[in-house]
Structures are given as C-alpha cells and as structure tokens.
C-alpha cells in the first residue's frame, strides 16, 4: 500500500515538474513579448515627440499630440501656453524614458479596440540661461523635469478621444508643476 502511494507521489511530482518546465514556453509567451515590445516602441516614439516639442518650443506639434476632445476644450490653449512658459529650456541635454507603463485595454479577436497607456518620462535635463546682473552676462543652470501622461492609443468607439488625455510636467525637487487635460 505504502509503495503505491510513493509511486503515485513520484509520478505526480514528475508530471508537475514537466508541466512547470514547459510552462515557460507556452504559445502565449510569444504573444505577450510581442505586445510588450510594441508598447515599448509606442511609448518611446510618443515620449520622444513630447521631448522634441518641449525642447524645441514646437507648440503646434505638441498640441497635435492631444486628443481632439482635449484640444477642443475651452482651457486647452491657455494650459499649453502655461506649460511652455513653465518648461524653460535654452539647451536640451539628455532624457530618460521609462518604456514600461501601466495601462488597460480591450481586445476583439486579438486586436485592440480600446487601449490606454500611462507612460512617464523619468527626467528631461536642460540648461536654463540665468542673467548674472553684469551686462550681457549669464550662467547656465541645470533643470530637471519629469513628464507623466495618460494616452489613449486606440478607441474604436470614440476616435475623438485618441491622443493624450492628461499630461503633467513637474520641475523636479520642487513642488511646481503644470497639468494639461484635466478640466478645471
């Protein structure tokens, strides 16, 4: 009797071990890796465009990143002006983009019908020219900004919502920030 129990336990443990070893190679792993790779590329491209617009002062390009719904709001133009006044950049140095982001989505037969991501640009390092008080004299100081945004990548039922919904620019190591996209 005891021998039968030991044999069953050994068979069960062997089957469990084989299952665990094969679980890492299940067919869905390739699909998950593909989705994560696509998301990473989307986030990198969108974040690089945000950085370009901010550091080059391209308000039109920046506005185009937002959804039609947000662009048509009454406060949008004023908030964009506030953001470009707040983001003081004379020389762009470097940035770091976090390519993994939280998000949500709905699919129909493997195709996204609604997809939202919440990426973060960990920092954008720029130089700001500050007058010294001596005629024509100025020094450059480092400024670090962080950008967080909520971005609807796909929404088949509401295409006017596709684009950035909310974006916050924060001057790091201060409590100063500007938010675009949240109705007042």
Torsion of CA 26, 40, 118, 170, to 10 degrees: 150
Q: Is residue 6 part of a domain?
A: no
Number of folded domains in the chain?
1
Count Cβ neighbours within 10 Å for each residue of 104-129 and write b for 16 or more, e otherwise.
ebeeeeeeeebbbbebbbebbbbbee
- pLDDT of 171 reads 97
Task: Decide: 65 and 50 in contact? Cβ < 8 Å.
Answer: yes
Q: Environment class of residue 74 by beta-carbon count within 10 Å: exposed (0-12), middle (13-18) or buried (19+)?
A: exposed
How many other CB atoms sit within 10 Å of the CB of residue 90? 14
Express each pLDDT in 88-133 by its tens digit.
Answer: 999 999 999 998 888 887 777 767 778 889 999 999 999 999 988 8
Q: Is residue 124 part of a domain?
A: yes
Express each pLDDT in 29-55 by its tens digit.
Answer: 666 666 667 888 999 999 999 999 999
Decide: helix, strand or coil at residue 162: coil
Question: Domain holding 50: CATH number?
Answer: 3.10.450.50
Q: Is residue 94 part of a domain?
A: yes
The whole domain housing 108 covers: 26-180
Q: Is residue 12 part of a domain?
A: no
Q: Is residue 1 part of a domain?
A: no
Q: What is the DSSP letter of 161?
A: G
Q: Is residue 2 part of a domain?
A: no
Q: Is residue 16 part of a domain?
A: no
Q: Is residue 5 part of a domain?
A: no
How many other CB atoms sit within 10 Å of the CB of residue 73? 16
Percent of the chain clearing pLDDT 90 (strictly above): 57
Task: Decide: 183 and 73 in contact? Cβ < 8 Å.
Answer: yes
């Amino acid at each position: 009797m005891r021998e039968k129990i030991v044999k069953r336990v050994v068979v069960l443990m062997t089957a469990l071990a084989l299952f665990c070893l094969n679980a890492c190679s299940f067919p869905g792993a390739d699909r998950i890796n593909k989705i994560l790779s696509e998301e990473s590329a989307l986030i990198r491209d969108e974040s690089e465009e945000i950085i370009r617009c901010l550091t080059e002062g391209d308000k039109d390009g920046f506005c185009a990143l937002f959804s039609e719904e947000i662009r048509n709001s009454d406060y949008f133009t004023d908030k964009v002006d506030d953001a470009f006044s707040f983001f003081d950049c004379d020389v762009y140095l470097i940035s770091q983009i976090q390519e993994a982001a939280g998000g949500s989505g709905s699919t129909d037969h493997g195709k996204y019908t609604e997809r939202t991501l919440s990426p973060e640009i960990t920092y954008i390092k720029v130089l700001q020219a500050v007058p010294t008080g001596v005629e024509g004299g100025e020094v450059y100081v480092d400024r670090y900004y962080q950008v967080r945004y909520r971005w609807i990548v796909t929404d088949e039922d509401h295409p006017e919502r596709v684009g950035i919904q909310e974006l916050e620019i924060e001057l790091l190591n201060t409590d100063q920030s500007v938010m675009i996209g949240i109705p007042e």
